Chain A
Amino acid sequence: MDLRFRGAEPSEEERAAVDALLGPPASAWDGGSRTEADLRFAARAEAARDQLLPALHAVNDRVGWISEGALEYICRRLTIPPAEAYGVATFYALFSMKERPKRVLHVCTDLACQAKGAESVRRRVEDHFGPAGTSWHESPCLGMCERAPAALALEAGTPPVAQVYAPATPDTITTMAEAPPSSNGSTPSVKVTGETPERAAVPQAGQDGLLLLRRIGTVDPASLDDYRAAGGYTALRRAFDLGPAGVIREVLESGLVGRGGAAFPTGRKWDATARQPDHPHYLVCNADESEPGTFKDRVIMEGDPYALVEAMTIAAYATGCAKGYLYIRGEYPRAVARLQHAIATARARGLLGDDILGKGLSFDIELRRGAGAYICGEETAIFNSIEGQRGEPRSKPPFPVEKGLFGKPTVVNNVETLVNVLPILERGAQAYAAAEPKLFCVSGAVERPGVYELTFGATLRELLDLSGTTGTTRAVLLGGAAGAFVTDLDIPLTFEGTRAAGATLGSGVVLVIDDGVDLKSLLLRIAEFFRDESCGQCVPCRVGTVRQEEALHRLSRRVDDDDLVLLREVGQTMRDASICGLGQTAWNAVESAIDRLGVFR
């Protein structure tokens, strides 16, 4: 590959940020100074494309934006053509290629926050800081729906600071004063301030009978000893007793299906990966939780990080992976900090690395941060993102179990799915299947928003009885922006039950809409969300999401039958002809609102 550069130089600070990640350059080819040896020997640069996203983060974290000099330096270090690196950097919403203030405020205006008065916060911010674009942005769902309305300020520096405003009130958010650091969760890499205890997100915390949430709010998330004292690492010991094939058999028998939205049987995925002759196998934990209204994975990672480390170790053992990637969305600074700490502690204590627990298992986890792209939660887009490509979904087949990360067999599961493996092994498949737990993210017009754990089979009404509702419930959005509105509260919260009701359990979003919410503006927000988050690869989604939004704007001014027909035709084409799930589901919620709630009648 013949690289050509325009000659922009990085600043000292940018160079230091990249070198802190990659180490000093080895030769002049890598961007170092020319030495005698460079003139005598041809330097051979190792292409390290997968370090592109971490390198972009390094610069953006320290300087706040990515200049041409910084990008060129990264390209030299990693042997990447600048045009490609530019394409990757401009793909992510959290990066800026133009100079901007070090501190940028992200004001969530997405569904759950909109139902809780995000508009007044947004207006106040606009009055105070001027038009959106530089010092502040409107943000897609920040995953803090239980404390809506939310905002997140990210400030570049060493270390970078993430300040959470949740709930954000028009007054607190405009005072730039820094809140006192939280008592735990601070790490050298990101300083997180303004957080509340993780217990606040789990109304059931401390109750008996919980399986997935039992440690959250009751066990210190930073302490490995506390985790072990509270039952941690018994599942991994059981896994070693069963052997890899035994673990897969147990997971198959439990009937566990993926909790990310697609509900594919986990055991079959593991089995298919384990059988692949091609090596190495990779494990990817999808923690790019970005579906509006979803925050369960964040709560697990913040409140019980070692559970995820243990579950990933078990998955790797069963499927023969020596390396696991944990991809956490960029807007989750506390989850990133907690997991960094948990992984480092587990590694230091021999629970990651070579010869885990003296059983000869070699496995380690590399944590990767997303940078503001919903689409990277798609199971193949996440591979491209990790590999340092644009986070565009790949076409399937081939499926990940055959050709996934780096073209190798890969098992990709989301956080909740993996954590379910612990009770399966602790209790046995049959006991687990008899009372299978499911997490729900309840937000909107409810008294006690948060993550709830129920056994499969409970109805929506039972869930809302637990959380309590406020106002007159008009509808419930199940499954997030890609889900559907329902009005029947007696539908059972199972994959089959919701499907029969023409909805989806999706990622477990239960957003309660009362009669005080303007449904038209909620639909517009959903359309805006998909327009912003479409990767732009295929025509039905790239143009269809724009046309859907335009038609909804027209309809909210004046109802016109032609526009309704147009919406249906564009929606059906997105569903039929888009490459991935984003385009295929971008019309679901709008369709259900028109058909069931009679929005534009």
Chain B
Amino acid sequence: MIPLQPPRRLIDVEIDGETVRVPEGSTILDACAAAGKDIPTLCYGDTLTPKNACRVCVVEVEGARTLAPACSRKAEKGMKVGTDTERARQSRKVVLELLGSSVDMSTTPRAAEWVEEYDADPARFGDDAATVEQPAKVDNELYVRDYSKCIMCYKCVDACGDQWQNTFAIGVAGRGFDTTISTEFDAPLTDSACVYCGNCVEVCPTGALSFKTEFDMRAEGTWDESKQTETTTICSYCGVGCNLTLHVQDNKIVKVTSPHDNPVTKGNLCVKGRFGYGYV
């Protein structure tokens, strides 16, 4: 049973000239969803506090000097928001170009679609443009960290840290373009505080963190999402009863996720639910 929240006032917000009514405290992104607008997001996570680091969701708020991140800015009464203005589109385009030119976005869902929609050209910065390319870190049997695909959205750090797992195995290290997600002194995961819950993999928006099975199958060229089925079931290990979604290809479990709308676990699992499927 979910306890009833105290009633919230409704406020009117104008999205692209259309008035929508949302509960007080909603974000602009919520209001956009209510108005049926599709705003691209990368660092936004439905189970995490918005970090608003990627800036692909920027919208134009009337009267503001700069663009506002839709994912975190609270909608205010009477706010006039433009989601598709020239300025907002231009910023999204350049942000996609900046990301696409520095990070491998080949496994980021919808990235290719957005690049096309915003007419972005990540190749315009030339062949010498600096990238974050580096070898993938394969230091354990369960999941792989391929930071050449990392857009620094902070979601894995938040999930590992005080927002969910409270393990604090990874942090953000360095500064500027050289910022990375790292354990202390870049030690291998097996030496770190990691408990292999895989909740970081669950929230990663680009595939920088992936199951070892997925990583290996992609390397072999056998990963094929069109041949996969998803079955949601209940974890059989303990009495909590977490939901598991088993991704099955060729009659084999290749990945385990968990529904984010589960009111108890919100997509989080422990090592057994996430990786302990070998007995099936």
Q: Judge whether B98 and A71 touch: CB under 8 Å.
A: no
Minimum C-beta distance from A228 to chain B (A): 43
Knowing A543-B98, A550-B125, A550-B128 touch, does A86 contact B179 (C-beta < 8 A)?
Answer: no
> Can you report 23 residue pairs joining A to B where beta carbons are below 8 Å apart?
A2-B167, A2-B193, A6-B187, A83-B171, A83-B193, A84-B168, A84-B171, A86-B171, A86-B173, A87-B173, A390-B172, A537-B53, A539-B53, A539-B152, A543-B102, A550-B128, A551-B125, A572-B90, A573-B91, A576-B87, A577-B58, A577-B95, A584-B66
Additional pairs, 8, CB under 8 Å, beyond known A4-B193, A91-B174: A68-B185, A83-B193, A90-B174, A535-B179, A539-B151, A543-B99, A547-B101, A573-B98
Minimum C-beta distance from A381 to chain B (A): 12
A373 to B176 alpha-carbon distance, docked (Å) = 11
A544 to B91 alpha-carbon distance, docked (Å) = 11
Interface residues of B in 94-111 (CB under 8 A from A): 94-95, 98-99, 101-102
Residue B183 CB within 8 A of the other chain:
yes
A540 to B54 alpha-carbon distance, docked (Å) = 8
Q: Judge whether B95 and A90 touch: CB under 8 Å.
A: no
Binds B, one of A237-245, A351-359, A526-534: A526-534
Residue A97 CB within 8 A of the other chain:
yes
Q: Judge whether A1 and B184 touch: CB under 8 Å.
A: no
Question: Can you name the residue of chain A whose Cβ is closest to the Cβ of B55?
Answer: A577
Q: List the B side residues contacting A547 at CB < 8 Å.
A: 98, 101, 125, 129
Q: Judge whether A538 and B54 touch: CB under 8 Å.
A: yes
Minimum C-beta distance from B272 to chain A (A): 18
Residue A175 CB within 8 A of the other chain:
no
Residue A380 CB within 8 A of the other chain:
no
A82 to B170 alpha-carbon distance, docked (Å) = 9
Q: Judge whether B174 and A540 touch: CB under 8 Å.
A: no
Instruction: Count CB-based A-B contacts (< 8 Å).
Output: 160
Q: List the A side residues contacting B102 at CB < 8 Å.
A: 543, 546
Kindly supply a per-residue 1/0 record for chain A positions 411-439, scoring 1 wherever the CB is within 8 Å of any chain B CB and 0 otherwise: 00000000000000000000000000000
Residue B69 CB within 8 A of the other chain:
yes
What is the interface of chain B, defined by CB distance below 8 A to chain A?
Answer: 52-56, 58, 66-67, 69, 72, 74, 87, 90-91, 94-95, 98-99, 101-102, 124-126, 128-130, 151-152, 161, 166-179, 182-185, 187, 191-193
Q: List the A side residues contacting B130 at CB < 8 Å.
A: 546, 550
Q: Judge whether B94 and A573 touch: CB under 8 Å.
A: yes
Q: Top 5 A-B pairs ranked by shortest CB distance?
A: A81-B168, A536-B179, A87-B171, A4-B193, A82-B184
Question: Can you name the residue of chain B whose Cβ is closest to the Cβ of A91?
Answer: B175
Interface residues of A in 1-48 (CB under 8 A from B): 1-4, 6
Q: Judge whether B175 and A535 touch: CB under 8 Å.
A: yes
Interface residues of A in 546-594 (CB under 8 A from B): 546-547, 550-551, 554, 562, 566, 569-570, 572-573, 575-579, 584
Minimum C-beta distance from A59 to chain B (A): 15
Question: Can you name the residue of chain A whose Cβ is closest to the Cβ of B169?
Answer: A83
Q: Judge whether A542 and B179 touch: CB under 8 Å.
A: yes
Q: Judge whether A540 and B52 touch: CB under 8 Å.
A: no
Residue A85 CB within 8 A of the other chain:
yes
Q: List the A side residues contacting B185 at CB < 8 Å.
A: 68, 71, 86, 97
Q: Judge whether A536 and B178 touch: CB under 8 Å.
A: yes
Residue A545 CB within 8 A of the other chain:
yes
A1 to B165 alpha-carbon distance, docked (Å) = 10
Q: Judge whether B67 and A87 touch: CB under 8 Å.
A: no
Q: When the two chains form the complex, which single residue of A534, A539, A575 contacts B55, counting CB atoms closer than 8 Å?
A: A539
A397 to B182 alpha-carbon distance, docked (Å) = 29
Minimum C-beta distance from B171 to chain A (A): 4
Residue A183 CB within 8 A of the other chain:
no
Residue A207 CB within 8 A of the other chain:
no
Q: What interface size band does chain A fall in?
A: 35 or more
Q: List the A side residues contacting B152 at CB < 8 Å.
A: 536-537, 539, 542
Q: List the A side residues contacting B98 at CB < 8 Å.
A: 539-540, 543-544, 547, 570, 573
Q: Judge whether B176 and A532 touch: CB under 8 Å.
A: yes
Knowing A3-B193, A537-B53, A584-B66 touch, does A83 contact B170 (C-beta < 8 A)?
Answer: yes
Q: Judge whether A534 and B176 touch: CB under 8 Å.
A: yes
Q: Judge whether A83 and B182 touch: CB under 8 Å.
A: yes
Q: Judge whether A90 and B193 touch: CB under 8 Å.
A: no
Q: When the two chains form the complex, which single residue of B58, B128, B168 contacts A83, counting CB atoms closer than 8 Å?
A: B168
A91 to B182 alpha-carbon distance, docked (Å) = 13
Q: Judge whether A2 and B166 touch: CB under 8 Å.
A: yes
Q: Judge whether B90 and A569 touch: CB under 8 Å.
A: yes
Minimum C-beta distance from B271 to chain A (A): 15
Knowing A395-B52, A540-B98 touch, does A83 contact B192 (C-beta < 8 A)?
Answer: yes
A569 to B87 alpha-carbon distance, docked (Å) = 11
Q: When the two chains form the complex, which single residue of B66, B99, B168, B187 contacts A576, counting CB atoms closer than 8 Å?
A: B66
Minimum C-beta distance from B64 to chain A (A): 10
A536 to B175 alpha-carbon distance, docked (Å) = 6
Q: When the two chains form the complex, which single residue of A6, A91, A536, A579 contacts B177, counting CB atoms closer than 8 Å?
A: A536
A539 to B51 alpha-carbon distance, docked (Å) = 12
Minimum C-beta distance from B9 to chain A (A): 18
Q: List the B side residues contacting A71 at CB < 8 Å.
A: 184-185
Kindly supply a per-residue 1/0 record for chain A positions 57-98, scoring 1 wherever the CB is within 8 Å of any chain B CB and 0 otherwise: 000000000001001000000000111111100110100010
Question: Can you name the residue of chain A whose Cβ is closest to the Cβ of B128?
Answer: A550
Q: Judge whether A577 and B66 touch: CB under 8 Å.
A: yes
Question: Can you name the residue of chain A whose Cβ is closest to the Cβ of B129?
Answer: A550
A83 to B182 alpha-carbon distance, docked (Å) = 7
Knowing A6-B191, A547-B101, A575-B66 touch, does A535 contact B174 (C-beta < 8 A)?
Answer: no
Q: List the A side residues contacting B54 at CB < 8 Å.
A: 538-539
Q: When the two chains form the complex, which single residue of B95, B168, B176, B182 contacts A535, counting CB atoms closer than 8 Å?
A: B176
A45 to B201 alpha-carbon distance, docked (Å) = 32
Question: Can you name the residue of chain B whose Cβ is closest to the Cβ of A536?
Answer: B179
Minimum C-beta distance from B185 to chain A (A): 5
Question: Can you name the residue of chain A whose Cβ is closest to the Cβ of B124?
Answer: A566
Q: Judge whether B94 and A90 touch: CB under 8 Å.
A: no
Question: Can you name the residue of chain A whose Cβ is closest to the Cβ of B57?
Answer: A577
Q: Judge whether A531 and B176 touch: CB under 8 Å.
A: yes
Q: Judge whether B183 and A83 touch: CB under 8 Å.
A: yes
Scoring B67, B72, B169, B179 by chain A CB atoms within 10 A of each residue's CB, the highest score goes to B179
Q: List the A side residues contacting B87 at CB < 8 Å.
A: 576
Question: Can you name the residue of chain A whose Cβ is closest to the Cβ of B168?
Answer: A81
A93 to B95 alpha-carbon distance, docked (Å) = 27
Q: When the two chains form the complex, which single residue of B58, B178, B184 contacts A86, counting CB atoms closer than 8 Å?
A: B184
Question: Can you name the residue of chain B whose Cβ is closest to the Cβ of A544?
Answer: B98
Q: List the B side residues contacting A86 at CB < 8 Å.
A: 171, 173, 182-185
Minimum C-beta distance from B78 to chain A (A): 16
Q: List the B side residues contacting A538 at CB < 8 Å.
A: 52-55
A81 to B175 alpha-carbon distance, docked (Å) = 19
Q: Judge whether A546 and B175 touch: CB under 8 Å.
A: no
Scoring A84, A93, A535, A554 by chain B CB atoms within 10 A of each residue's CB, the highest score goes to A84
Q: When the two chains form the complex, which single residue of B91, B125, B176 contacts A540, counting CB atoms closer than 8 Å?
A: B91
Question: Can you name the residue of chain A whose Cβ is closest to the Cβ of B174?
Answer: A90
Q: Judge whether A539 and B99 touch: CB under 8 Å.
A: yes
Q: Judge whether A576 and B91 touch: CB under 8 Å.
A: yes
Kindly supply a per-residue 1/0 record for chain A positions 385-399, scoring 1 wherever the CB is within 8 Å of any chain B CB and 0 otherwise: 000001000010100
Knowing A546-B130, A577-B67 touch, does A534 contact B177 (C-beta < 8 A)?
Answer: yes
Q: When the two chains form the complex, which single residue of B94, B171, B187 contacts A569, counting CB atoms closer than 8 Å?
A: B94
A2 to B192 alpha-carbon distance, docked (Å) = 12
Minimum C-beta distance from A148 to chain B (A): 25
Q: List the B side residues contacting A584 at CB < 8 Å.
A: 66
Q: Judge whether B171 and A540 touch: CB under 8 Å.
A: no
Q: List the A side residues contacting B168 at CB < 8 Å.
A: 1, 3, 81, 83-84
A345 to B87 alpha-carbon distance, docked (Å) = 55
A531 to B182 alpha-carbon distance, docked (Å) = 21
Q: Judge whether B193 and A540 touch: CB under 8 Å.
A: no
Q: List the A side residues contacting B56 at CB < 8 Å.
A: 539
Scoring A83, A531, A545, A575 by chain B CB atoms within 10 A of each residue's CB, the highest score goes to A83
Interface residues of A in 365-410 (CB under 8 A from B): 373, 390, 395, 397
